[in-house]
Amino acid sequence: MELTVLALLIVAAAYNLAEGATRIGFYDGSCPRVEAIVKSTVRSHMSSNPMIGAGVLRLHFHDCFVRGCDGSILIDGPSAEKAALANLGLRGFEVIDDAKRQIEAACPGVVSCADILALAARDAVSESGGQFWPVPLGRRDGRVSSASDASNMPSPLDSVAVLKQKFSAKGLTTLDLATLSGAHTIGQTDCRFFSYRLYNFSSTGKPDPSMSQSTLAMLQQQCPRGDAGLNKVALDTGSQGSFDSSYFQNLRNGGGVLESDQRLMDDTGARITVTAFGVAGVTFRAGFVASMLRMSDIQVLTGSDGEIRRACNAVN
C-alpha cells in the first residue's frame, strides 16, 4: 500500500514539475557518482552526529524560502543570508562543503551546490528512517546572498494565517505547510525559542494553555525559569532521531514544542492533515515526498542562469 501511494504522489509531483528544467538523472552522463558521494557524505557525518541530518534538512528549507533553491544560504559573508537573525542557528554547512570537495575532485565544475543541498536533504531524511525518493536535478547556483532577503522567513512565532501567506507566496499550500512542518520529527531546538510558552505566554504570567500538563512539566524541567535558554530540546519528544509520524501524534495531544507547530491544530485545513498523518504514518511519508518535490523546485535557476560554484561558500 505504501509504495502504491508513494508512486502515485511522485507521479503527480513529477507531472507538476514537467514544465521545469530540473529532471531526474541530470548528471548521469557528466557526473554519475554524484548521488553516491552525497549519500556517503551525509551518512558519514550522521554517524558521528545524528542530529546533523535535521540541520541539513533545515538548510534546504531556509535556502528555498529566500531567493529560491539556489544555494545562496551557503555563501559566507557578514551580510550574507546565513548572517540573518532567522538563520543564525543553522547547522550542517560542513556536510555540504565536504560533499562539494569530493564532487569537485571527481567532476570539476559540473554539479551545483544547490543540487548537492537538495540531495543531502533527501539523504538526511532517508538516513533517519524516512522515505527515499528520486530528486530532479539541474539547479544552478545563485550569485546573490543578502541577509535582508531573509527577513520574511517563516518564524516559530508566526500565526498559522501568516505562515499560510508566506507559503502561498512560494506556491505552496496549507497541506504543504502542515506536511513540511513534519520535518520537526527529527532534530532539536533551543529553549529560548519557546520558553515564553512555559512561564509567561502572551504576557499572562502563565503557561500556554494549549500545552499538555505532561509536556509542560517536562519542558520546565529542561528549560528552567531564568535560564539562558541555550539548552537543546527535542522537537519530537521521544523520537528526535527517527523520521516518523509521532510529531503529529504529539500535536494532537498538546505536545508541540514550538508555538507555530502547536497552532497548526487551530486551523481547520492544517488540523485535518495533522490528524490524518498522526493516524497513518504511511500517508505522511508519502505526502512529505510530494511536498519536498514542490518546495525544492521553488524559483530554481537553470540553463545559463546563475553559475556552478567551485566552492559552496563563495561565488566564483
Q: Are 31 and 107 in contact (CB under 8 A)?
A: yes
Q: Are 41 and 113 in contact (CB under 8 A)?
A: no
What is the rounded CA–CA span in Å between residue 309 and residue 316? Answer: 6
Q: Is 29 annotated as a binding residue?
A: no
Q: Is 154 annotated as a binding residue?
A: yes
Q: Is 72 annotated as a binding residue?
A: yes
What is the rounded CA–CA span in Å between residue 270 and residue 210? Answer: 16
Q: Is 81 annotated as a binding residue?
A: yes
Q: Is 68 annotated as a binding residue?
A: yes
Q: Is 70 annotated as a binding residue?
A: yes
Residue that is written with C-alpha cell 516518523 in the block: 244
The DSSP element (H or E) to which 119 belongs, if any, is helix 113-127
Q: What is the DSSP letter of 126?
A: H
CA separation, residue 206 to residues 5, 87, 99, 229, 299 (Å):
44, 29, 47, 18, 43
Q: Which residues are catalytic?
A: 62
Q: Is 162 annotated as a binding residue?
A: no
Task: Find all residues with CB under 8 Å of 233, minimum gap 6, and list them.
Answer: 188, 189, 190, 191, 194, 219, 222, 223, 257
Q: Are 241 and 186 in contact (CB under 8 A)?
A: yes
Q: Is 40 annotated as a binding residue?
A: no
Q: Are 122 and 292 in contact (CB under 8 A)?
A: yes
Supply the DSSP string of 261-309, one letter for each residue: HHGGGGSHHHHHHHHHHHH-HHHHHHHHHHHHHHHTTTT-B-TTSSB--
Amino acid at 204: T
No. of H helices and E strands in the chain?
13, 2
Taken in order 107, 112, 116, 118, is the CA torsion positive or negative? Answer: negative
Residues making up the binding site: 63, 66, 68, 70, 72, 81, 154, 184-185, 236, 244
Residues making up the binding site for substrate: 154
Residues making up the binding site for heme b: 184
Residues making up the binding site for Ca(2+): 63, 66, 68, 70, 72, 81, 185, 236, 244
